[in-house]
Amino acid sequence: MLATQMKFSISSREMPHVHIKGFQIFRDRRGKMRCYHRQTRSVINLDQAPLGSAEFFAECAQITELTKVVGPPKPGTLGLLIAEYKGGTGFRDDLAPRTRADYQKCFNYLKPISDTPLHRFDRPLVIRIRDKARDKHGRRFANYVKAVLSILFTWGAERGYVTANPAEKIKNIPRAKNMPAANRPWGDDERHVVLEQSDQLLTGLAVMMFTGLGPKDALRLPRTFYKDGEIAIRRSKTGEPVFWPAPEPLSAILEAAVEHHALTLCANSRGRPWTESGFRASWARLRRRLEKEERIGPGLTLYGLRHTVAVILRELGYDDRAIADALGQKSPAMALHYAEGADLKRKMKGIVSDFQTEVNRRRMKVVKPT
């Protein structure tokens, strides 16, 4: 029983101290309590299930139950469809590791209904699954679960497991109108102020700001992938190639950067490769300071720089296909085009030339490392 694996006490501050086998419970750097399951990395939302409450123990029990060894999935069920899909070459070979991990989170969530016969799935049931996921884990996760179900049923329909895709054309849960935009584009003044104040973050932020690479790709970019003023890489999430002749402000920052011996293009103050968590923590401190000084607006995110590049390119009149090429967004219809590196290189030189002109027109100052 899970109860035999728990220790529970009350501190002098009336804060419950709970120890559960297989779970890590800790206080983060901001003083907020966190909890996740070590094996599955499943997170328990302590705002919805407070530490030590009945809801909290129920969540722990459910996650623990899901990790127990069970028999093979039953024929004609969702569990078998998931197992067959994961065993196929499409899941193993065509998806990036990050995408496979995201899919697995959805499969873990769907595990309690894995014995549901496939013939019982219809649009109302998929909508109920989506809405329940929203109530438990939020809108974004709910929409992702719906999308993964649609992928599963499409795959299954092509192979005769189901006759149709019941998740097809089911709409995503929309954002609330009063919610701020996620990863909003940065303003021109905000980009300049952040670069001016970045110090050891400068090279990493500059790569994200002038190429549209996400934090993970920018920080892991090998220094050998920047050559003769050009950056060539494949996105970790999609595997799609990205080619960027570095705009002049980025070249100036990289050329003036402090020498280091890290294998990555960007390094921290000790000359070592950045970890994504370490960079985000340093960025969070800088962002809070600049917000407090009212030099930037609220809501700046690192991924917002990717949106910023897309907005500038769209303002220049480029279509969705050109922007997708610039950002390394995957499109099955363009798979052959992506294989033609020379074509992509010629196209991107023109795109980045216009991007550089627009950046200079906005009077972006070159900021050199301190």
pTM for the model stands at 0.59
pLDDT at 103: 92
| Nearest to 241, CA basis, from 225, 229, 224 | 225
**Coil, helix or strand at residue 43:** strand
For the segment 93-114, what is each residue's pLDDT rounded down to a tens digit?
Answer: 888 777 888 899 999 999 999 9
Span 35-61, average pLDDT: 82
pLDDT at 100: 86
Q: Is the pLDDT of residue 210 over 90?
A: yes
Q: Does 1.10.443.10 match the CATH number of domain 188-361?
A: yes
* Residue 17 CA: distances (Å) to CA of 39, 40, 56: 21, 22, 13
pLDDT at 96: 75
pLDDT at 340: 37
Q: Say which residues have a Cβ less than 8 Å from residue 39's Cβ, sequence separation at least 6.
A: 22, 67
Write out the H or E segment, with its range, that includes residue 33: strand 33-37
Half-sphere exposure of 94 (CA within 13 A, CB side): 11
Lowest-pLDDT choice from 58-62, 240-244, 246-250: 58-62
Between CA 44 and CA 51 the distance in angstroms is: 9
Burial class (CB in 10 A: 0-12, 13-18, 19+), 281: exposed
Between CA 346 and CA 246 the distance in angstroms is: 14
pLDDT at 252: 92
Q: Is the pLDDT of residue 269 over 60?
A: yes
pLDDT at 98: 75
pLDDT band at residue 365 using 50, 70 and 90 as cut-offs: low
| Residues 207 and 214: beta-carbon distance below 8 Å | no
Q: Is the pLDDT of residue 75 over 60?
A: yes
Q: Is the pLDDT of residue 77 over 90?
A: yes
| Nearest to 126, CA basis, from 107, 149, 154 | 149
Q: Is the pLDDT of residue 58 over 50?
A: yes
Domain residue ranges in the chain: 2-66, 78-158, 188-361
pLDDT band at residue 290 using 50, 70 and 90 as cut-offs: very high
Q: Is the pLDDT of residue 357 over 90?
A: no
